[in-house]
Amino acid sequence: MEPSIFFDEVNERQGVFHRRTFLFGGAIGLGSLALVGRLMQLQVFEAQAYQKLSANNSIRFRLVPPPRGAILDRNGVEIASNRPDFLIMVRKEEIDDPETTIASVAQLLPLAPNRQKQILRQLEITPSAIPVSIATDLTWTEFARVTARLPELPGVTADMGESRVYPFGGAFAHVVGYVSKISQPDLDRAKKASPSGQIDPLLLHPGFRIGKQGVEYALDAELRGKPGGQKIKVDSVGRVVTEDPAGDVRATPGKDVVLTLDADVQNRALEVFGAEAGAAVAMDVHTGDILCLVSTPSFDPNRFVSGVASAEYQALHDFDHQPLLNKALSGLYHPGSTFKTMVALAALEMGFDPKRTYTCHGTWQFGNHVFKCDHHHGTLDLHAAIAASCDVYFYQASLIVGPDRMADMGRRFGLGQKFDIGIPGQKAGIVPDTAWKKRYFQSDPANQKWFAGETPSMGIGQGATVVNALQLCTMAARIANGSHAVSPRLIQSIGGVERPPSAPAVPLNINPEHIQFIQAAMTSVANDPGGTAVKSSQLGLGALRMAGKTGTAQDHAYNGSHGAHGAVGAWAMRDNAWFVCYAPADAPRYALSVLVEHGGFGADTAAPRAREIMKVALLKDPDIRQRIERPLQDPPKADDAQTQTPASLTKSADPSGPDTAEAHP
């Protein structure tokens, strides 16, 4: 065919080339088939697995912090809630040059050079997926200024987060506690507690705050909630490409916690303390629900949310009135004369004749030691001795009862006990008896014996006996209840689920007549002419009366033989003032214990405050309100008390029955 081919040699070359080219084409074909086979393996048989890997590559969830659960009082008033907070954050993975970015933001917001350095350091140590906060709590103007410039600031996000707020300031600071920035120890603990050893990324979010004290600390897990996710598509270096609102996972808000507290009672309690240090606990005598749990002076928990300045913290820490201490739970004090109710009850239960009389001349000699009483009470029976709080009577009665019976009765009424009310920081205190002495002085055999001289001291609530305000309130509540040993409850419900009291109300197993005897004596304290607190305990609420017991507990050994009792001398050397009470006296509803630290006489400083707190509690109770208001429709029946309402907290100029105890040797 081809005119150019004349030689066999040339034909042979061409033939070889044709055959080999054909083979080469075949080899290319086979190679292509192999490639197609590989494509089929990857794109048809293994496609699903690779599609999953592809999605994992690009789909991320950006953490959306959950709103923290609110803390409410029994009436639904917010004690701790959240407010909107404008904040500016920056994500390391989305910025090229942190210094330029921060400098640009600093032109829009006041950022001190130190703060800028701090942010840059934070950016270095934070994992790249976690945003770092530049500024929080911005005003709307500042926020808007940054938001308008966001397109020029890649990696910077403006967000409306939430910040914790405590509307009542210091009123609930000790019970509710506060949230604050998470600390390294918090993180270490979280890491240890986590089964996977991984820290929940929520904890690293700049807006996250962890409960540090009180309810916020104890119920942190319930209040915290579960973070949601904002579905985003990111490229290979983590830059957000698109957002997919349809794929967002909503955050689960934290559970709301309802406390048994009443904000009005709590606020009034804080108010009546003024500048005094002390504690007040009020309780429902039937349920054990705590209406108020106050410790003063207090501090503003709002200052701790965004990080309190160290100077401010130091000032709080160094103040001798100890604002950071929850005195209602952690403060231990001698119960003083309030303990006489227990001594009397123990005596009655062992068959002590309440008609038995002792005569008080102001002192009583035991061995070679002289025990003192504040007054020459004359001859008294048990009822009068309680009402007038005569120490001499109880020195001698306690010798008959003995330490073990007194201690046992105290414990049955809640003294020396910790109650599981759901927040930490409770101290049990001491109710001493012979067994306790053996335990306590294990390494000191000489002191293990119970010395006879210790019994009279214990009989007036001194000696080794130390209790807290919650225990004394529980004691008052159990006396008022009469039949059952109610236990305090602080957490009413979590996320709508009712919480039980700290312990079931078991029967007291006390002779009702004996209880009634004590109740009658406590009513006399607050109402009868000879009562120690008669002037400061008038409620002025019609027929409603209060029953109570004063206590003036010596906190320091007095200098010399002259008693510096009451509100005399330096603040830190004065006596602690107690008043435990319940009301109404005829049908008890609320019990209350008030401590005024170094307040002097219980009747002067503690009882008037107790009266004011109790009035709020009573007036807020609809049943009791009805009892008060009905007499108004019937003027002739109106009580004298209506007219002589003690409107203010005036100190009684002449304490009719202060009770002090001389130190035992």
Partner 1 sequence: MTTSALTRPGQRDRLIMKVPEIDWRLAFGLICIAGVGAMMLYSAGGQSWQPWAASHLIRFGICFVLMLVLSLIDIRIWFVMSYPTYGIALLLLLAVPIIGHQSLGARRWLQAGPISVQPSEIMKIGLVLALARFYHGLSAKDAQLSWKLLIPAALIAAPTLLVAKQPDLGTAILVAATGLTLMVLAGLSWRILAAGTLATVVAAPAFILFLMKGYQRDRVLTFLHPEQDPSGTGYHILQAKIALGSGGLLGKGFGLGTQSSLNYLPEKHTDFIFATFAEEFGFVGCAALLLLYGLTIAVALRIAAISHSHFGRLSAAGVTATFALYVMINAAMVMGLAPVVGVPMPLMSYGGTVMVTVMVGFGLVEAVRVHRYSEISSGTGSLLF
Nearer to partner 1, 13 or 369 (CB): 13
Q: Please, which residue, 59 or 452, has the CB nearer to partner 1?
A: 59
371 has which bridge partners? 364
The count of C-alpha atoms lying within 13 angstroms of the C-alpha of 592, restricted to the half-sphere facing its C-beta, is: 36
Q: Which two tokens stand for residue 583?
A: 């009301």
For 58, phi then psi, to 5°, come to -110, -15
**Residue 96 CB, nearest approach to partner 1 (Å):** 15
φ, ψ (nearest 5 deg) of residue 330: -100, -15
Shortest distance, CB of residue 12 to partner 1, whole angstroms?
4
d(CA 92, CA 119): 11
CB contact at 8 A, 269 and 280 = yes
CB of 239 to partner 1, least distance (A): 9
State the minimum distance, in angstroms, from the CB of residue 151 to partner 1. Answer: 18
From the CB of 43, what's the least distance to partner 1, in Å? 4
| DSSP secondary structure letters along 136-191 | -S--HHHHHHHHHHGGGSTTEEEEEEEEEE-TTGGGGHHHH--EEPPPHHHHHHHH
Edge-first strand listing for the sheet containing 278-284: 290-296, 278-284, 590-596, 576-583, 547-553
Q: What is the β-pairing status of strands 257-259 and 71-72?
A: parallel
Residue 571 found at the interface with partner 1 (CB under 8 A): no
The reply to whether 96 sits near partner 1 by the rule CB under 8 A is no
| Minimal distance, residue 31 CB to partner 1, in Å | 5
Shortest Å, Cβ 493 to partner 1: 48
Binding flag, residue 2, partner 1 (CB under 8 A):
yes
CA-CA-CA-CA dihedral for 435, 436, 439, 445, to nearest 10: -80
Q: Is 40 in the site for partner 1 (CB under 8 A)?
A: yes
**How far apart are the C-alpha atoms of 642 and 619, rounded to whole Å?**
15
Angle at 638 between CA 637 and CA 639, to 5 degrees: 110
Report the alpha-carbon distance of residue 59 to residue 234 in Å, rounded. Answer: 6
Length of the chain: 665
In the complex, minimum distance from the CB of residue 47 to partner 1, in angstroms, rounded to a whole number: 4
Q: Toward partner 1, which CB reaches closer, 31 or 362?
A: 31
Binding window for partner 1 (CB under 8 A); candidates: 10-18, 283-291, 526-534, 630-638: 10-18
If the CB atoms of residues 20 and 449 are measured against partner 1, the closer one turns out to be 20
In the complex, what is the shortest distance from the CB of residue 58 to partner 1, in angstroms, rounded to a whole number?
5
Residue 175 near residue 292, CB atoms below 8 Å: no
Q: In angstroms, what is the minimal distance from the CB of 55 to partner 1?
A: 8
CB of 293 to partner 1, least distance (A): 56
Structure tokens at 625: 């309100």
Q: How far is the CB of 228 from partner 1 (least distance, A)?
A: 23
Q: Which is nearer to partner 1, 39 or 148 (CB)?
A: 39
Residue partners of 44: CB distance under 8 A and separation at least 6: none
Under the criterion CB under 8 A, does residue 16 sit at the interface with partner 1? yes
Q: What is residue 366's three-state secondary structure?
A: strand
Q: Looking at beta carbons only, is 47 or 649 nearer to partner 1? A: 47
586 touches partner 1 by CB under 8 A: no
Rounded Cα distance between 85 and 338, Å, is 49
Applying CB under 8 A, the site for partner 1 has a residue count of 44
Alpha-carbon distance 112 to 135, whole Å? 11
Q: Scan residues 197-256 and list those touching partner 1 (CB under 8 A).
A: 233-237, 241
Q: How far is residue 86's CA from residue 163's CA, in Å, rounded to a whole number? A: 9
Q: Is 139 in the site for partner 1 (CB under 8 A)?
A: no
Closer CB to partner 1, residue 36 or residue 452?
36
The reply to whether 24 sits near partner 1 by the rule CB under 8 A is yes
Q: Tell me the helix, strand and coil percentages in the chain, rounded to 5.
A: 40, 20, 40
Amino acid identity of 422?
G
Residue 127 interacting with partner 1 (CB under 8 A): no
Q: Which residue, chain included where needed, has tokens 């002289």?
A: 370
Give min distance, CB of 19 to partner 1, in A. Answer: 9
- The residue behind tokens 């507290």 is 261
Of 459-518, binders to partner 1 (CB under 8 A) are none
Please identify, using beta-carbon distances, which residue of 18 and 376 lies nearer to partner 1. 18
Neighbours of 377 (CB within 10 A): 22
Burial of 354 from C-beta contacts in 10 A (0-12 / 13-18 / 19+): middle
Instruction: By CB under 8 A, tell whether 351 contacts partner 1.
Output: no
Q: Which is nearer to partner 1, 6 or 140 (CB)?
A: 6
Residue 14 sits in the site that holds partner 1 (CB under 8 A): yes
Return the number of the residue (53 or 112) whose C-beta is nearest partner 1.
53
At position 662, the amino acid (one-letter code) is E
Nearer to partner 1, 5 or 148 (CB): 5
Question: Does 435 participate in binding partner 1 (rule CB under 8 A)?
Answer: no
Q: Which is nearer to partner 1, 44 or 160 (CB)?
A: 44
Residue 9 Cβ, how far from partner 1 at the closest point, in Å?
Answer: 6
Estimate the crossing angle of helix 340-349 against helix 391-401, to 10 degrees: 40
Query: Could you give the CA distance from residue 437 to residue 414 in angstroms, rounded to a whole number?
Result: 20
| Closest CB 29 distance from partner 1, rounded Å | 7
Instruction: Note whether 38 binds partner 1 by CB under 8 A.
Output: yes
Say if residue 442 is exposed, middle or buried (CB neighbours under 10 Å; 0-12, 13-18, 19+): exposed
Under the criterion CB under 8 A, does residue 9 sit at the interface with partner 1? Answer: yes
| Per-residue binder mask for partner 1 (CB under 8 A), 603-642, x = binder | ----------------------------------------
- Part in contact with partner 1 (CB under 8 A); list of ranges 40-48, 64-72, 271-279, 384-392: 40-48
Q: Which of residues 42-71 bind partner 1 (CB under 8 A)?
A: 42-44, 46-47, 49-51, 53-54, 57-58
Asked, as a colleague might, if the bond just before 622 is cis with ω within 30 of 0, I would say no
Six-digit token string for 65:
């912090």
Instruction: Note the residues at the interface with partner 1 (CB under 8 A).
Output: 2-5, 9-10, 12-14, 16-18, 20-21, 24-25, 28-29, 31-32, 34-36, 38-40, 42-44, 46-47, 49-51, 53-54, 57-58, 233-237, 241
